[in-house]
């Protein structure tokens, strides 16, 4: 599947009707999501034929992308049941088989599964300090092959240092810098939309 085609599919997905600020729910835009998963597959072969988990999957954008790029098995994990309902509808609309699990990602009860690759757009940690690192810590414990994750560019040195020094990651590489489009979702948002610089990381556990 070509990148533009993948982006087109993702652009038609339903997103949060009532996003929850306490969970830092922001939709992963089709531009970023398509490039993230396309790169994971076409540059590293980390999606096709693999067991892929989407941590904090929200409405399932990254899960859908992985399924469209021929992942063998896709799990979407999120704590919010409303988001999972929308993710389920998105998967159904495209006739994709995605296993959706309601769970806190810190709950490792399902960790017996063999997961090759984790893809995620974690909370940036602006509401709950350290939430981004909590996600990364758990992902690196579970993935056997690679973790792809988005983090604010302003936290680049912190993310790299923490991953290599504290989480004993074999490698932590910024693949590219992207613009994350944050629409005006919450009352405290003063602007119609804001672009945030984010890094697309590939970590090898």
Query: For 46-72, how does the pLDDT look when each residue is reduced to its tens digit (9 = 90+)?
Result: 999 999 999 999 999 999 999 999 999
Give the domain ranges of the chain.
3-16+26-204
The pTM assigned to this predicted structure is 0.90
Q: Which residues pair with 195 in a beta bridge?
A: 181
| pLDDT (0 to 100) of residue 131 | 85
Sites in the chain below the pLDDT cut of 70:
16-26, 108-113, 125-128, 182-194
Q: How far is CA 124 from the centre of its chain?
A: 12
Please state which CATH class domain 3-16+26-204 belongs to: alpha beta
């Amino acid at each position: 599947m070509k990148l533009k085609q993948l982006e087109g599919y993702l652009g038609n997905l339903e997103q949060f009707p009532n996003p929850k600020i306490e969970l830092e729910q922001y939709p992963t835009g089709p531009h970023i999501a398509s490039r993230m998963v396309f790169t994971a597959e076409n540059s590293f072969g980390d999606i096709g034929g693999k067991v892929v988990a989407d941590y904090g999957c929200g409405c399932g954008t990254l899960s859908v992308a992985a399924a469209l790029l021929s992942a063998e098995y896709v799990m979407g994990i999120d704590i919010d049941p409303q988001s999972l309902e929308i993710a389920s509808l998105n998967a159904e609309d495209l006739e994709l088989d995605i296993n959706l699990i309601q769970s806190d990602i810190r709950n490792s009860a399902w960790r017996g599964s063999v997961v090759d690759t984790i893809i995620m757009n974690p909370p940036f940690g602006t509401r709950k300090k350290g939430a981004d690192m909590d996600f990364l810590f758990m992902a690196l414990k579970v993935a056997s092959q690679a973790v792809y994750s988005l983090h604010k560019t302003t936290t680049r040195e912190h993310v790299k240092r923490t991953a290599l020094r504290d989480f004993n990651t074999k490698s932590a590489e910024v693949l590219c810098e992207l613009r994350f489009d944050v629409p005006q979702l919450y009352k405290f948002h003063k602007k119609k939309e804001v672009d945030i610089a984010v890094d697309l990381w590939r970590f090898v556990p």
